[in-house]
Structure 1
Amino acid sequence: MKDQTWHLKRGDELVAALVVVGADYPWLQAHVEPTPAFDDVKHLFEQLESDEDAWASATAEIRSTLTLVDPNGTPVAEYLLHIDGESAWWRWVD
């Protein structure tokens, strides 16, 4: 697989680099390289993984707060992103 890095941003600020390590269509898997800004949003991903009842609200808050940018620099229209420690997996719609 060609080396790909996606970016998770809050406005113009880089929150994390997501370095793709595998794929299981329609999901991509990546190693997470967080920046210090990730600390401000980490709780959203922890809530997403730990509380099934809060899944919808956590997903909505992630999407409204963060932008997922593909390796070409294009923000994706919609996505479902999970981050657990140093691992991430997501699917998206252009």
Structure 2
Amino acid sequence: MGFVGEVWRLMRQEELPGEIVIDESEFPWLHGRFAPAPTFGAVKPWFDESLALVEAEEFERFDDSYDRIAAALTLLAPSGPVAEFLLHISDGRAWFRWSDEPFDAV
């Protein structure tokens, strides 16, 4: 598939919390190996909390929790930053969907 092998970067301002090497593309989701940088520890609890809320089907609480991730982090495709993304990270894996436009506009 077209995305397999690409490296996507998770950014927190000028810091790089980690990179995702895409190894599976299942529209609309991309999946890959997550390589955390030392700075990932500061945001890892955010991802742990948001995934736990999804698994518990507490979607309203998830929205509030995920807002922190969306406000503080940027996802960079090989071509540059994406407008919006929904990213989960757990056990060395990342899976996400993204858009060049805000989700509300799509």
Normalised by the shorter chain, which TM-score bucket? over 0.9
Task: Give the equivalent residue in structure 2 for 1:31.
Answer: 33
* Among 42, 49, 60, the residue aligned to 2:51: 49
Q: So what's the TM-score if we normalise by structure 1?
A: 0.93
Cα distance in 2 for residues equivalent to 1:82 and 1:63: 12
Cα distance in 2 for residues equivalent to 1:89 and 1:61: 18
Q: Deviations over 1:46-89 (max 9, x none)?
A: 001112433111211101010000012x1100110001120110
Q: So what's the TM-score if we normalise by structure 2?
A: 0.83
Point out where structure 2 has 5 or more consecutive residues left out of the alignment.
101-106
Give 2:75's aligned amino acid.
Answer: L
Point out where structure 1 has 5 or more consecutive residues left out of the alignment.
none
* Among 60, 66, 69, the residue aligned to 1:59: 66
1:66-85 correspondence runs (5 A): 66-72=73-79, 74-85=80-91
Task: Give the equivalent residue in structure 1 for 2:103.
Answer: none
Identity of aligned residues (%): 37
How many residues end up aligned between the 2 structures? 93
Give 1:78's aligned amino acid.
Answer: E
Alignment RMSD: 1.1
Question: What SS class does the counterpart of residue 3 from structure 1 fall into?
Answer: coil
